[in-house]
Each structure stands twice: as structure tokens, then as C-alpha cells.
Amino acid sequence: MTRQLISSGSSFEKPIGFSRAVRIGNQIAVSGTAPIAPDGSTAHPGDAYEQTKVCLSIIKSAIERAGGTMDNVIRTRVYVTDISEWEEVARAHGEMFSEIRPACTFVEVKGLIGADWLVEIEADCVVE
């Protein structure tokens, strides 16, 4: 099967050795996606809801570039640095996925690569 690598242009991709997303056959896996603004800075510092929306927008773009749609998402993993913010993160997640309803996990983590990142999200898809 052909392996399709999707880049977001993140400066982290080459030194870490990862792709924003990878498609093999009918499966798309989207890497942990942080709230990174187009200029490489952190988008919306201190705002978990807006950061989540940025993560989901980057994920959506990667999935579409791999030939899928958000309707193909079957699982998300949401990492938050402060579990007390989960409702704001969940609100943004729900706005995107309320009808799709993928399997989903929320996990509190000690920290993320960017000290001001409040959330990071992964997604898995099966394309029909």
C-alpha cells in the first residue's frame, strides 16, 4: 500500500521525524496537534477553548489533504495540561464532533512541548 505523508510545515516535523498525518490505505492517523499559529507562535495563550479550535482546524486541514473528511474521524485523544479546563476543551470538541461522535479520551498531562500549550489533540480516521 502507498504511504502518503502530510506535512503542516511545522518546524518540529523534521527534527523530531514525524508527519502531521499519515495515510495508508483507508486509514489516516493525525499526530498530536498543538495550537500553533501560522507564524509558529502559540495561538490564543491562556484560552483553552480557542486553542482547541485551532488544533481541530489544523487536524481538519490535514485530514482533507489526505483525502478524508471530519466525518471519517473514529477516535480522538485530547491531552490537557489542566483537567479543570476540560469543559472548555470539550465545548470546542463538541462543536466539531457533536454529530460525528468519535470515540474520545481526555487525559491530563504534566506538560506539553510548548509551555503555553493548554491542549494537544490526536485523531484517527477510516476513509470509506
pLDDT over 70 for what percent of the chain? Answer: 100
Per-residue pLDDT, averaged over 20-35, amounts to 97
Question: Given a cut of 90, is residue 13 above it in pLDDT?
Answer: no
Distance between CA atoms of residues 105 and 75, nearest Å: 8
Helices (H), 4-115: 13-16, 48-65, 86-97
Q: Cβ neighbours of residue 37 under 8 Å, at least 6 residues apart?
A: 43, 54
3-state secondary structure 63-88: HHHCCCCHHHEEEEEEEECCHHHHHH
Residue range 44-83, pLDDT digits in tens: 999 999 999 999 999 999 999 999 999 999 999 999 999 9
Predicted confidence at residue 10, as pLDDT, reads 80
Terminal Cα distance for the chain, rounded: 16
Residue range 72-121, pLDDT digits in tens: 999 999 999 999 999 999 999 999 999 999 999 999 999 999 999 999 99
**Structural domains in the chain, sorted by start:** 3-126 (3.30.1330.40)
Predicted confidence at residue 9, as pLDDT, reads 84
